[in-house]
Amino acid sequence: MIRGTGWIFIWFGVYLIGFVAYQLWFTNLLTARDQSALAAGLDAHYEEVVVEEVEYVPVPGGTTSTTVPSPEPIPDPVPRILLVEAESEVGEAFGQIRIPAIDLDVTMVEGVRRRDLKKGPGHLTGSPLPGQPGNAVVSGHRTTYGAPFGDLGGLETGARIEVETALGVHVYEVREAPERCRTDDGLCVVKPTDLWVTEPREGAWLTLTTCHPKFSASRRLIVFAELVAGPNAEVILGT
Amino acid sequence: MLSTLYHRLPGPKAARITMLAAMAVVLLTLVIWSYEILGDLLDSGGTVGE
């Protein structure tokens, strides 16, 4: 009886050690392999992707689409031409995200399904692509699968985020956390069900989401960044 | 433990080894599947509302 109980504890210990090794080591290997493959195919994607020019009609309160006519468009005597790229298939690479402040340089995929995020940060399908007007949402792992957003909590206001897509490099700057989600240390932390962070916004924004705190999926850490330069920046910002 | 299991299995040597290998594969699959499920508690990918 005692011997049997001892074996149960031993096997449970082996199981737990295996779990830690799998999460903190093996998942990183899987993601590194996927990242190499994705990065290798990115140049071909840039050449193949369809890029269109569409007239940009800003809508008060923000929009996720530039092609849907607004019932009350803001009058604009000079047409503003926006470059729009076709969305990739879910699970495929579409660009790279670089954040020098946290030494991040990874390939992003379309979609936020479990299997998409194992490859790298994923773009929320349905939200605008980075470099487009509205709120582009990108999610990523914080502690496992390469932990691309592991150091997201260390980003300070004004930090530069570069997102490269088929259109070119879109430069964003991190903005201060909104009051409604700001913690004592200046981070924006919300519940996983707080959908307001993904809602359309006026201008062009990049919203990065990841788990919080580290080693827990109970909350979400959110970083909001605003477009400041890039192929569409002048058109969107009206400068 | 493994040899006890081997001796309890019916059939010739090749069949017993095949059965042990199949059991190992099933066990490993279950273990990795449970790691994936438990892993979501540590880090689910950071999505909001998904």
- pLDDT tens string B1-50: 778 888 889 999 999 999 999 999 999 999 999 999 999 999 999 999 86
Which residue from B minimizes the CA distance to A15?
B31
* A139 at interface of B, judged by CB pairs closer than 8 A: yes
| Max intra-chain CA distance, chain A | 86
Distances (CA, A) of A224 to A59, A61, A73, A135, A173: 20, 17, 26, 9, 8
pLDDT the model gives residue A69: 52
Is residue A149 within 8 angstroms of chain B, CB to CB? yes
pLDDT given for residue B49 in this prediction = 85
- Shortest alpha-carbon distance between residue A116 and chain B (Å): 10
Contact assessment for residue A156 and residue A174, using Cβ atoms and an 8 Å cutoff: yes
Alpha carbon of B24 to those of A56, B5, B15, B17, B20: distances in Å? 59, 12, 14, 10, 6
State the maximum Cα–Cα separation within chain B, in Å, rounded to a whole number: 55
Fill in the DSSP letter of residue A93: E
SS3 at position A56: coil
- From the list B38, B40, B45, the residue facing A19 with the nearest CB is B38
Confirm or reject contact between B4 and chain A (CB < 8 A). no
Question: Does any CB of chain B come closer than 8 Å to the CB of residue A111?
Answer: no
B37/A contact by beta carbon, under 8 A: no
Q: Provide the pairing of β-strand A160-165 with A168-174.
A: antiparallel
Which of B35, B40, B50 shows the shortest C-beta gap to A19?
B35
Whether B39 contacts chain A with CB within 8 A? yes
Chain B residues touching A209 at Cβ < 8 A: 46-48
Nearest to A151 by CA among A238, A221, A80: A221
Give me the pLDDT at residue A73, please: 60
Q: Give the pLDDT confidence score for residue A64 in this predicted structure.
A: 45
User: By the CB < 8 Å criterion, does B45 face chain A?
Assistant: yes
Q: Which of A23, A140, A194 comes nearest B39 by C-beta? A: A23
Residues 6+ apart with CB under 8 A from A225: A159, A161, A172, A173, A174, A175, A205, A206, A207, A208
Looking at the domain that runs over A2-237, which CATH code has it been given? 2.40.260.10
Are B47 and A209 a contacting pair at CB < 8 A?
Answer: yes
Find the length of chain B. 50
CA pseudo-torsion sign A137, A143, A149, A153: positive
Contact A22 B35 (CB under 8 A): yes
Nearest CA in chain B to A138: B47
Spans of chain A below 70 pLDDT: 60-77, 239
The residues spanned by each domain of chain A are 2-237
Partners of residue A217 in chain B, C-beta under 8 Å:
40-44
pTM over 0.95: no
- B4 phi, psi to nearest 5 deg: -60, -45
C-alpha B36/C-alpha A144 separation (Å) is: 11
User: Which ipTM value was assigned to this complex?
Assistant: 0.84
Give the per-residue pLDDT at A99: 98
pLDDT confidence of residue A77: 61
Residue A113: CB atoms within 10 A of its CB come to 15
